[in-house]
Amino acid sequence: MLLLLCGTLCFCACRKDSVPEPPSKDAELTGQKVDVSGFPESVRKVFLLNEGGMGSNNATLDFLRVSDGTYVNGAFRKMNPEVGAGLGDVGNDIAVHGDELWLVVNNSGIVEVLSAKDETEIAAIPVPTPRSLAFDQRYAYVTSWAGAYATGSYDENGNYSVTDSKNPKGQVYRIDLETKKLAGSVEVGYQPEGIAWYGGKLYVANSGGISSQLPPDYAYDNTVSVIDTDSFRVERSISVQVNLKNVYADGTGGIYVTTLGDFWSVHSGLYRIETQTASGIDPVSKVADYVSVSALYGDTVYCIGTDSEFDWGAAHEYQAWSVRNGVRKALPLKVSATALYSLGVLDGDTFLVGDAGDYFNPGTVSCYSGGALRWTVKAGVCPGHFALY
């Protein structure tokens, strides 16, 4: 409330000075000062979603205001004090769409829509076990692990009724961008994770992260489900590799998929699917092994990984590289992290890297440019997902 009041006072004060655009309500938020020289001018803010620990209700939203180089911690709670419980439990994905900031709060069952200008809440949409986001012109699409609700539906009070409960396959839910209401769902594979839109199709990475722990098969999924957005049906599925995680569309027909591997014999890695072949089949090729974190920037996928990933006790040496048009290029970026957790790309040279530390206490975000470390700030617990505004 006080913050809102401050925001209003500032708004009034600014009007007196007859500045054309009123400053954002979050302009009063203070934080750690960092050096942002050389940051691309197109970037106003860098948002970071900290996942928090499962069951600890400590997902937090940080942002870096590029105009004055201020890194603000815990912005959601500061800008939305009326949401007493805070952002919620396990932040799992973040995306900017227009002037809206979309957050997936996995274990709260909420897709949170905020104003990207000032982080105030626009809508909180209930979605069971939501994981990741993609958009087209009309809808937001959210992957969900809640396979139990294949044929379930909401009533007018927002409660679910369930008809099929023992099907652990996941869903993609569709949310109308205008009304912020659910508008149907479609069943995909086991425990879907990443999702990307390209050319009227959605590409969904199915992990099988839970089914790998369950009888009778103890098997990961290894498919990408392709959904046609017009009919909102799964068209086909493409076999790639076990335990798929992120999907990136490079905007020219290439779809990149990362795998976490099976933590035992199959290494993590990056795969490329060609989608515009005349034959109708989708050739899959492996780009490289060892992907710990990855991010898309423009038509290029950036990856950082280590070849000692199965040795959990080792001090890892990380290699960074990028892929454009299927061509891999090493980067001169030397990252050091206790637990490398996320990657944000500001341009081809400026990177933000999240370090989860002990996964339990607040982690850090470090900025690298020219391959070298520039600064490090304190973030939240498990700094996991970046978005640019």
Partner 1 sequence: MSARGILLCIDLRSPSAIALAIALSAPWCLQAQEADTLAAASVYSVQVFPVVRPSEEVYLPGVAAPPAQVADVLRRFTGVQVKDYGGVGGLKTVNVRSLGSEHVGVFLDGVQVDNAQNMQVDLGRFSVDGIGLVSLYNGQKTRRLQTAKEYASGASVHLESERPLLVDRDGGRVRLRGGSFGTFNPSLQWDLDLGPVTLRVSAEGVTSHGKYKFPFFDTTLVRENGDIRSLRLESALFGRLRRGEWRLRGYGYGSERGFPGPVIRRATGFPFSAERQADRNLFLQGGWQEDWTPRYATSLRFKFADDYIHYDTHPEKNPMALPYDLHYHQRSGYLSLAQSFVLADPWSVDLSTDLQRNALDTDAGQSVTPRRTVFTGALATRLAWERFRVAAHAVYQGAWDGFLTPEAGGWSRENTFRRAWMPSISLFYAPFRWLEMDGFLKRSYRLPSFNDLYYSQMGNSALDPESAVQAGLDLRFRHASGPWSWEGRLSPYFNRVTDKIVAIPTSSQFRWTMLNIGRVDVTGVDVRLDGRFHQQGWTAEAVFRYSFQRALDHSDPSGSTFGNQIPYIPRHSGGIDLRAGWRAWSFSWDTVVTGERWSRTANTPDYHIAPWSVSDASIARIIDLPASGNRAKAPVLKAGMVVRNVFDRSYQVVQGYPMPGASLMISLEYTW
Taking CB under 8 A as the binding criterion, the range among 26-34, 125-133, 246-254, 296-304 that sits at the site for partner 1 is: 125-133
Q: Cα separation of 324 and 342, whole Å?
A: 20
Work out whether 109 is an interface residue with partner 1 (CB under 8 A).
yes
Work out whether 313 is an interface residue with partner 1 (CB under 8 A).
yes
Q: Which is nearer to partner 1, 7 or 357 (CB)?
A: 357
Q: How far is the CB of 144 from partner 1 (least distance, A)?
A: 9
Work out whether 30 is an interface residue with partner 1 (CB under 8 A).
no
Q: Exactly one of 7, 88, 189, 384 binds partner 1 (CB under 8 A); which one?
A: 88
Q: Cα separation of 295 and 245, whole Å?
A: 12
Count CB atoms within 10 A of the CB of residue 389. Answer: 17
Q: How far is the CB of 24 from partner 1 (least distance, A)?
A: 24
Binding map of partner 1 across residues 162-201, x = CB under 8 A, - = no contact? x--xx-x---------------------------------
Q: Which residue has the tokens 């099929």?
A: 164
Taking CB under 8 A as the binding criterion, the range among 1-9, 29-37, 82-90, 194-202 that sits at the site for partner 1 is: 82-90
Work out whether 158 is an interface residue with partner 1 (CB under 8 A).
yes
Q: Which of 276, 112, 128 is nearest to 192 (CA)?
A: 128
Q: Which of 132, 110, 147 is nearest to 197 (CA)?
A: 132
Window 37 to 66, contacts with partner 1 (CB under 8 A): 53-58
Separation in Å, CA 267 to CA 77, 91, 261, 307, 317 = 39, 26, 5, 9, 16
CA 228 to centroid of chain Cα atoms: 22
The H or E element spanning position 2 is helix 2-16
Q: What is the 3-state secondary structure (H, E, C) of 35-55?
A: CCCCCCCCCCEEEEEECCCCC
Taking CB under 8 A as the binding criterion, the range among 4-12, 119-127, 271-279, 294-302 that sits at the site for partner 1 is: 119-127
Q: How far is the CB of 71 from partner 1 (least distance, A)?
A: 16
Separation in Å, CA 311 to CA 140, 262, 263, 264, 281 = 39, 13, 10, 10, 37
Work out whether 113 is an interface residue with partner 1 (CB under 8 A).
no
Work out whether 360 is an interface residue with partner 1 (CB under 8 A).
yes
Q: Cα separation of 17 and 56, whole Å?
A: 45
Work out whether 359 is an interface residue with partner 1 (CB under 8 A).
yes
Q: Exactly one of 37, 137, 157, 285 binds partner 1 (CB under 8 A); which one?
A: 157
Q: Exactly one of 26, 62, 89, 187 binds partner 1 (CB under 8 A); which one?
A: 89
Work out whether 124 is an interface residue with partner 1 (CB under 8 A).
yes
Q: Which is nearer to partner 1, 164 or 317 (CB)?
A: 164
Q: Exactly one of 27, 66, 110, 295 binds partner 1 (CB under 8 A); which one?
A: 110
Largest interatomic CA distance in the chain: 70
Work out whether 301 is an interface residue with partner 1 (CB under 8 A).
no
Q: Cα separation of 124 and 377, whole Å?
A: 29
Work out whether 152 is an interface residue with partner 1 (CB under 8 A).
yes
Structure tokens at 260: 């976490």
Task: Answer yes or no: are the C-beta atoms of 61 and 15 closer than 8 Å.
Answer: no
Taking CB under 8 A as the binding criterion, the range among 14-22, 36-44, 155-163, 237-245 that sits at the site for partner 1 is: 155-163
Work out whether 87 is an interface residue with partner 1 (CB under 8 A).
yes
**Interior CA angle at 20 toward 18 and 22, to 5°?**
90
Number of residues near partner 1 (by CB under 8 A): 56
CA 48 to centroid of chain Cα atoms: 9
CA 321 to centroid of chain Cα atoms: 20
Residues of the shown chain interacting with partner 1 in the complex, contacts defined by CB under 8 A: 53-58, 74, 83-89, 105, 107-110, 124, 126-129, 145-149, 152, 154, 157-160, 162, 165-166, 168, 210, 213-215, 218, 264-265, 312-313, 357-362, 378, 381
